[in-house]
A and B are shown apart, each in its own frame.
Chain A
Amino acid sequence: MNALIAVIIGAVTIYLAYTRYARRIDRNVIQSDPKRATPAVLYMDGVDFMPTNRNILFGYHFKSIAAAGPIVGAIVAASLWGWLPAFIWLVVGVSFMGWASDYSAIVLSVRNEGNSLSAVAHRLISPRTRTILFLFIFFYLLLIAGAFVGIMAQTLDSQPKTHLGMILLVLMGLLLGQMLYRWRVGLLPATVVAVGITFLAILAGPATEGFFRSFNGFFNSLTGGAPIVTYFDPTLAGFKGAEAEIMPSLLFWAIAISIFCYAGSVLPIWRMAQPVVYVGFWITAIAMILGLAGASLGTFIKPEIAAFQIPAFKGWNPQLGPAGVMPLWPMLFVTIACGAISGWHSLFGSVGTARQIESEADMLPIGAGAMFAEFLLGLLALLAVTVGAKGGSPVATFASGLGGFISVFGLKGEYAVSLAFAAFIVIVLVVTQLIFRIMRVTLTEWLGELVPPLRNQHVASFISVVLAILLVMTGTWIYLWQLFGGANQLMAALSLLLVTIWLAAQGRSWAFAGVPTLFMYFTTVASILVTAYNLYYNVYVPNAAAGRAVPAVGSALMIVVALLLVAAALLIGVDGARAFLKYSRLARSSGAEAAPARG
């Protein structure tokens, strides 16, 4: 097996899934009708509801759903179970569930006057489903913020060659915002300046490595080289578990990232968050396009960089720490989310994209097409980590693999790897600042009435940052990632559940959404329980026994969040099953539409 064969299998799969399965569902079950007026046409307001050309909307939707998710998940999964299970799940997941989830969320919204999933849930299932979704999102964001800050801090701490690029990324983002919104510079010249300078800074990274290494050394010398926190991390030493230390330089980077995210959260969106995302998008896109092309060409030009290095299969239940379990089912299916199926896509598809759909004929190419395109991103990440050099952290392996692909185009090895590292950090960094922004707003909306100080954006942002840092200090980012994956996939299950209920109420065939709903629901609840078990026996017990306060508190917090997610899932499941049975009975007895939903 090599990279080219994997790319060909992936391309053929999505072609068949789109033409043989997705189109059939669109034609026979949903019966999309180009003559039916969409909410964008009916309620055109020039902003939210606006009929938009399908090519523009495809680009917009793809950009909104594709970034860090498929990359991190594929890296972790390949490291734990080998590349074959990850590859199979990516292919099967996107073919039978991922596209169905994204596409049907858009359909549901389009056929329900552009209402969001939560508004439809309120009507079809019960009012409390909407409230649960709201609380659910806050914990979802907290988990991913903790996971991402932890990953970035560790990567920045260990890779001084990426520092210059990251500093310039932030500065160029600020400059781009100023150029576009204040100096009225055109998008093209502003992009060339901002992205060009950032790109050059990333390539110059290896030349500045010595300087930034001494920068890290300065912080570590403040404690005489002693760690600030020592803890037991079950993911170290090849997942056998070992003592780990948080050095002052790592804490510095975690705080530096938090300050950056804090600024992104409280400054006007045009000033920082949006332009930084834009510059980051270009850096990542360049690296990914070069990587995908390199993976295909490498087989012929440099066969050694396209050969798979890690085992195809590492086991059904790799031991993760002294007492940990990591069964392939259910854990693989939450570890890889976005390249296969993701709940966040549905949430945004239903409020962002659905209200701009010009014709029902566009729902499939945009909803399913963008998901299949994202699958390719996940596949590239999987290939990169699979061909990467053995040893090192999963992120280093990924960067080594992606750098190898990029080097096909003549870029010197160390610069190609530097670009790959930067692409990874950029993609995670820009998303994290947005996460803190949404956390701040969610916290204010959720508790602002009860606790008035939370209406202050600085207070809400500060609390969000402190909670995330507390999770980072536990040191177990893989568990954080899997808890986030569980929350994300539960949201996908909820979205599919809503679609299933709506289809049943319409008297249509609901199997294409109903079967994935059942699979994702039971899989994600099981995965959250497994993660809670692992956190308790692998992180909480060893650290509490050793008298370490911070990791024990952090892991206890994660266990509480996990149990809250399970409770929320059970409530939604019970309410959803009742609604499904009710509408199915009504549809059967009346032989017509039973729900107060349109379509």
Chain B
Amino acid sequence: MSFAADVKDFLYGLTGYEFARHALETRREVEKIFLAATLGDLVGIPVMPPVYSLRLLPYVLPEIEKWKREMARTKELWEREEFDLHGI
């Protein structure tokens, strides 16, 4: 990798990367709600599985493992991007 590409990556990390991460976090929050509402029974939330949950299953199947791990993981309140103090 060239020096110019390294500098470009560094500048991206310094500037745009946090916006990208925030966008990903926002998307994940919405997806979590969606998955909990439709397939919540997979993680113990008492949701009556409607028939269209089964139709969705093939599409969300690749995400289920990550989603279950995310739901089970202990989280700290300061670990989200939005609670980063940026430079203390």
Interface residues of A (CB under 8 A from B): 43-48, 53, 55-69, 116, 118-119, 137, 144, 180, 187, 191, 269-270, 273-274, 277-278, 281, 338, 342, 344, 347-348, 351-352, 427, 430-431, 434-435, 437-438, 441-442, 445, 488
- Decide: B82 and A64 in contact? CB cutoff 8 A: no
Which residue of B69, B79, B83, B88 is within 8 Å of A342 (Cβ)? B88
Report how far A441 CA is from B76 CA in the complex, Å. 11
- Minimum CB–CB distance from B21 to chain A (whole Å) comes to 7
Looking at A58, A137, A348, which has the most chain B CB atoms within 10 Å of its CB?
A348
Report whether B15 and A344 are in contact in the complex, using a CB–CB cutoff of 8 Å: no
Interface residues of B in 3-21 (CB under 8 A from A): 6-7, 9-19, 21
Q: Is the Cβ of A434 less than 8 Å from the Cβ of B86?
A: yes
Q: In the complex, are the beta carbons of B76 and A68 less than 8 A apart?
A: no
Additional pairs, 8, CB under 8 Å, beyond known A45-B66, A59-B15, A438-B83: A45-B70, A53-B9, A59-B12, A63-B86, A63-B87, A69-B88, A270-B22, A438-B78
What B residues does A430 contact at CB under 8 A? 86
Which of B76, B77, B83 has the most A CB atoms < 10 Å from its CB? B76
A438 touches B12 (CB 8 A): no
Q: B78 near A69 (CB under 8 angstroms)?
A: no
Q: Report yes or no: B15 in contact with A278, Cβ–Cβ below 8 A.
A: yes
> Are B13 and A434 in contact, with the CB atoms below 8 A?
no
Chain A, Cβ-Cβ closest to B9: A55
| Residues of chain B at the chain A interface (Cβ within 8 Å) | 6-7, 9-19, 21-22, 24-26, 28, 66, 69-70, 74, 76-79, 81-88
A59 pairs with B86, CB closer than 8 A = no
Q: How far is the CB of A177 from chain B (nearest CB, A)?
A: 10
Contacts of B13 in A (CB 8 A): 55-63
B9 near A344 with CB under 8 A, answer: no
Partner of B85, one of A61, A187, A434: A434
Contact of A434 with B22 at beta-carbon distance under 8 Å, contacts A58-B10, A59-B17, A348-B78 already known:
no
A442 CB contact (under 8 Å) in B6, B26, B77: B77
CA distance A430 to B25 in the complex (A): 22
CB–CB B14/A60 < 8 A: yes
Known: A45-B69, A45-B70, A46-B66. A66 touches B87 (CB 8 A): yes
User: How far, in Å, is B39 (CB) from chain A's closest CB?
Assistant: 17
Choose one: A137, A191, A274, A351; the contact of B18 (CB below 8 Å). A274
Tell me, in angstroms, the Cα distance from A338 to B25 when the chains sit together: 28
Interchain nearest-CB distance for A474 vs B (Å): 21
Q: Note all chain A residues with C-beta closer than 8 A to B77.
A: 441-442, 445
Residue numbers in A under 8 Å from B76 (CB-CB): 116, 118-119, 351
**Within 8 Å CB of B70, what residues of A?**
45, 48
Contact B14 A64 (CB under 8 A): no
* Known A-B contacts A59-B12, A59-B14; A48 and B79 likewise in contact (beta carbons under 8 Å): yes
**Residue of B at shortest CB range from A67?**
B87
A-B contact pairs, 21 of them (CB 8 A): A45-B69, A46-B28, A47-B25, A47-B28, A48-B70, A56-B9, A56-B12, A56-B17, A59-B10, A59-B15, A63-B18, A137-B78, A144-B88, A274-B19, A278-B18, A338-B88, A347-B78, A348-B78, A434-B83, A437-B82, A438-B78
Chain B residues lying within 8 Å of A44, measured Cβ to Cβ, are 66
Q: Is there an interface contact between B82 and A274, defined as CB atoms closer than 8 Å?
A: yes
Question: Could you say which residues of chain A place their CB within 8 Å of the CB of B25?
Answer: 47
Residues of B within 8 A of A144 (CB): 88
Contact between A431 and B85, CB atoms less than 8 A apart: yes
A64 and B84 contact, Cβ closer than 8 Å, known pairs A55-B9, A56-B10, A137-B78? yes
Q: Are A60 and B17 in contact (CB under 8 A)?
A: yes
Task: Report the Cα distance A57→B12, complex, angstroms.
Answer: 9
**Are the C-beta atoms of A488 and B10 separated by less than 8 Å?**
no
